[in-house]
Amino acid sequence: MIPIIRSSSVSLLSPFASCSSTMRYMATVSQVLPRSQAPWKRAAAPPPRSDYSPGRRKQSAKNAHERRRRSRSPEEGRRRRDSYDPSMKYGIPQSLLNRLQIWPKSPETRTRLRTLGLSEEESSRLIPHFINNSTQELKALESSKADDEVSGLWTMDILDTQLGRAGDMRSRTVLLDRSILHRFLIWVSSQPDASSDSPQIIDNVNTFSPYANLGAIGRLLDLRNPAETYARARRMKRKIIMHVGPTNSGKTYNALVALAKAKTGLYAGPLRLLAHEVYDRLNKGLIAIPTEPGEAPTSPIRKCNLTTGEERRVVDVHAPLTSATVEMINLNMPYGVVVLDEIQMIADPMRGDAWTRAFLGVRAEELHLCGEETVVDLIRALVLETGDELIINRYQRLTPLMPANKSLQKLGNITRGDCVVAFSRAQLFQLKYTIEKETGLKCAMVYGSLPPEVRAEQALLFNDPDSGYDVMVASDAVGMGLNLKIKRIVFASLSKFNGFEELPLSVSQTKQIAGRAGRFGLHHGDGGGEVTTLHNSDLKQLKRDLAARLPSVPAAVIKPSQDMVERLSSLLPPDTSFGDLMKLLKTSMLVRAPYETGVEHKDVTRSLDLVEKFYGDLTASDCMTLIYCPLNMKDPVILIAATNMARAFAVKAEVSLEDLFKNTPLLQALHMVQKLQKMSQQGGGWSDVKRRKVADELAEKKHAALRSLESLHKAITSYLWMSYRVPPSFPEQERAMELKLEVESAIEFYLTLVVTSGGKLERKPFKKTARSLQYASGVDVGDGVDLLDMPHTHTPAVVEAQ
């Protein structure tokens, strides 16, 4: 029996425990306990297994770490992340004081001050005085003796909410530096030097005064109250009606009914396809308006114009309704009813600013918001700032969506009305080939790189029971913008290649795509839709995603407007590069909750590098227009076309289609496919054998001709986009429209012709080489016409569906 050893009243861990008492305790325990059971000794490790190698030991430790990581809840992870917060150790004012001593020596600070027009000598003279003044203010804040004005100058409202949530020390440093820079700009503009050293001016047309302009720059970068920017909208008491529900719940239909009944109104959606659909339905009277019980609904024809970035259709200059993409909303126009679709995209890092601008600035008596439940809390917070009335209508799915009990397992089990979803062009063509071979059912195709007009045509073929196209093969482009008679969604994969690695679909993406099955009113009986996977290993994950609850949308995205960029350009030194201007905006804008700054699309970042070359010959407004022109800048041939456009715009102030296509092989793909189209119509058309031969040779070239046509369409679309914003500099709009229609016709012919050969297409790593711009593509049709020498316009062997 082991005797009970009573511990001393003084803990052994206490610094007051004497050494002699500790030694007596250890000696006593050693007499009554085996060595391995002594409390300060570890038990001897068991002998290693004979088959236990160092590699297995390392893998076991890695697996244990992964299990601990996965078992940790998001809340616990967030708590652990935020628990280490040196900036909060002393309080925000003291953290600012600590950073203030290092701030002048930071390379980023020196770069920003040079961009603002301050020389090293001026900075060295001003900063010590600024630090002395700031030290007094921050000590007053620390002792709660400062007033609200000083607190606002130091952006305490931002630091209070964001500093504790910053993920790492770098993020905290950025927040502190941003606050210090803002205070410096306001402080230096109020110094006597601002009036004694140089005249007070706000423009740099003739001379430049950095001190006078710094205060204006500080106020320009302060976006803490964006709602106040839209004064005319704030003078209204708007009624905001939210229509919230899952896909296929009728939320958008109810908003469109209100639009169809309005005297004046606007629909704004995220895609050209959605804007086109609403435009057609209003002009054709396809929106049924409920009437009194027992009476048939009415479907009035309403005149509606179309406004997108690349197209204008004017039914009547006095038409009371307009259908548009979100970026094209006219904030100067008053409306009776505005429908803002897919409102959850207000948090999208790349495009969310368009929804934020529309929500805050549109002058509507009734603003209808359609979207997911995840955005409700954010809209409530925004309405508190705008002072509007908020009504929330919630909807349930009109037809049930049922996950299947088993996977499809093989493509031979595909039936009419199925949509098979995959996420690469190669996989889509392979699926099309296999399904048509094993089932005899023809497949329509939809993926992101196809022009919207072609996607709409493919959707019509699938929806038409007499077209012969009974199955849809699609990418995630099927998740929005198309009404399809899909009975069952089949996921060929639940992961998507992002250019570097395979990543699982988000829960939101999975639900959006799955929700396309069983659309209400598109099937006889409306018995609901079904969703499953091709492979059994994916089915459990699919069911988990469908049952998961989506997290709330965190914040509304804000980005600098074109007017803001022009204003900042006029306040900076004339020799400031456009890249430095944009970097200053990105790093110095002040934004508080419930807003956050977004990120730019990679194409915008690449465009910025291009525009920088011609900034000396272009205005800031022209540069912003070029930057946001919709171009796929990762395509090397499109990059050449974009460079041609920017050069001609800067040098000649006029861009022709010939300038756009100079030194590119884009038109050759169109000519090749048009020749095939003419030859297929001669002599009663091609036989099945001839058609298969042509299709197989196209497939052997990995459908390079199709990729070239898609690139050509994007180049033409970008020209049209610019022609609506700078009409005098892009005069060939009519010819571009005609060429766009020719390309769409060629793509539609190609898709009806092509049948993929059965070889498996492997994804190859993307390598830029000199030969990547030009290699053979096309077909030999066997009539003495060799079309194999058409240059290819894409580098990757497999281009991901976008």
Which pLDDT does position 694 carry in this prediction? 78
Which pLDDT does position 613 carry in this prediction? 83
**Taking the mean position of all CA atoms in its chain, how far away is CA 222?**
24
Which pLDDT does position 85 carry in this prediction? 43
The pTM (predicted TM-score) of the whole model is 0.79
pLDDT one-digit tens code per residue, 263-293: 999 999 999 989 999 999 999 999 988 876 6
Q: Which range, 54-63, 697-706, 775-784, is most confident?
A: 697-706
Which pLDDT does position 158 carry in this prediction? 87
Task: State residue 469 phi and psi, 5-degree precision.
Answer: -100, 105
Give residue 168's pLDDT band: very low, low, confident or very high (50, 70, 90): confident
Which pLDDT does position 196 carry in this prediction? 42
Rounded average pLDDT over 143-152: 81
Give residue 434's pLDDT band: very low, low, confident or very high (50, 70, 90): very high
Does the pLDDT at position 767 exceed 70? Answer: no
CA distance 241 to 259: 12
Which pLDDT does position 300 carry in this prediction? 87
If DSSP states are collapsed to H, E and C, what string results for 566-632?
HHHHHHCCCCCCHHHHHHHHHHHCECCCCEEECCCCHHHHHHHHHHHCCHHHCCHHHHHHHHCCCCC
Which pLDDT does position 620 carry in this prediction? 87
Rounded average pLDDT over 22-35: 46
Q: At what angle do helices 578-588 and 169-189 cross, to 10 degrees?
A: 110
Which pLDDT does position 270 carry in this prediction? 93
Rounded average pLDDT over 772-798: 32
Amino acid at 274: L
pLDDT one-digit tens code per residue, 361-394: 999 999 999 999 999 999 999 999 999 999 999 9
Does the pLDDT at position 582 exceed 80? Answer: yes
Does the pLDDT at position 518 exceed 80? Answer: yes
Amino acid at 160: D
Which pLDDT does position 704 carry in this prediction? 85
Give residue 306's pLDDT band: very low, low, confident or very high (50, 70, 90): very high
A 10 A CB-CB count for 530 gives: 20
- Half-sphere exposure (Cβ direction) of 375: Cα atoms closer than 13 Å: 29
Does the pLDDT at position 55 exceed 80? Answer: no
Which pLDDT does position 474 carry in this prediction? 94
Does the pLDDT at position 505 exceed 80? Answer: yes
> Please, are residues 358 and 340 in contact by the beta-carbon 8 Å criterion?
yes
pLDDT one-digit tens code per residue, 85-109: 444 445 889 999 999 999 999 999 9
Which pLDDT does position 11 carry in this prediction? 39
Which residues lie closer than 8 Å to 136 by C-beta, 6 or more apart? none
Give residue 503's pLDDT band: very low, low, confident or very high (50, 70, 90): confident
Rounded average pLDDT over 717-736: 95
Which pLDDT does position 305 carry in this prediction? 97
Does the pLDDT at position 353 exceed 90? Answer: yes
Percent of the chain predicted with pLDDT > 70 = 77
Give residue 801's pLDDT band: very low, low, confident or very high (50, 70, 90): very low
Which pLDDT does position 478 carry in this prediction? 87
Mean pLDDT (the chain) is 80
Which pLDDT does position 50 carry in this prediction? 47
Which pLDDT does position 497 carry in this prediction? 81
